[in-house]
Amino acid sequence: MEPNPASTKTTTAVPDQRRGFIAKVTTLAVAGFALVGPAITALAAYLNPIRQKSAGGQFLRIANLSVLPEDGTPRRFPVITDRTDAWNRYPQESIGAVWLRRSGDAENPVVAFQVICPHAGCTIVFDSTPDVGRFFCPCHAAGFDLEGHRTESPSPSPRDMDTLEVEIRDGGDVWVKFENFVTGTSGKVAES
């Protein structure tokens, strides 16, 4: 009996199709696994600037001790540093400001305050009076003494002015640990 040509094609064609299908699926799986690693790495590199926290809380040089008045009168200074915003870098840009004043204390000769009012984020000014002077927030008429304490009771401000850490380094340079704080709360909480 002669083999039927149609049945011969069918029996050999089915295993070949199966082998071809398995080879294609295996090839796609291997290629997929090979691309997963670089794709995850590329995605992580792309999203990295978004996940990074701000550089707040670092010491920055603000001024020299020689430019601060001996009588303790506060002076306002801009805080200038390189700023990075996601993928862009901005060299030597103002990121805020601080009030500096001589304290008369040998151990801590300079006091630094954040210029942002702890109430609603307005800018605190120095109101010079014939007696001594005071810090003042024009947005809600809150006053602060030269030590940064609230002068009214009750005060519209939920807390005293935000103090900043100060270091006097070589040559009398004043370095301040610059940070921004959450406004509208009674506790001093650094923004992240």
pLDDT of residue 127: 87
Instruction: Examine the domain organization and report whether 67 and 15 are in the same domain.
Output: no
Q: What pLDDT score does 30 carry?
A: 85
Rg (CA), the chain: 33
- Asked whether residue 187 is assigned to any structural domain, the reply reads no
Into how many domains does the chain fold? 2
Nearest Cα neighbor of 118 from 156, 151, 161 is: 161
Same domain, yes or no: 66 and 18: no
Domain boundary (52, 77, 94) is at 52
| Domain of 160, in residue numbers | 58-178
DSSP code string of 58-107: EEEEEEEGGGS-TT---EEEEEEEEEEETTEEEEEEEEEEEEEEE-S-SS
Pair 11, 75 in one domain = no
The per-residue pLDDT for 65 is 93
CATH number of the domain enclosing 113: 2.102.10.10
Which stretch, 17-21, 48-52, 138-142, has highest mean pLDDT?
138-142
Look at residue 112 and tell me whether its pLDDT is greater than 90. Answer: yes
Q: Are residues 100 and 157 in the same domain?
A: yes
Do 43 and 131 lie in one domain? The reply is no
Task: Categorize the per-residue pLDDT at 45 as very low, low, confident or very high, splitting at 50, 70 and 90.
Answer: low
Model pLDDT for residues 134-150, shown as the tens digit of each residue: 999 998 888 999 999 99
107 has a pLDDT exceeding 80: yes
Domain final residue pick, 33, 52, 71: 52
Query: Do 31 and 96 have their domain in common?
Result: no
pLDDT of residue 28: 83
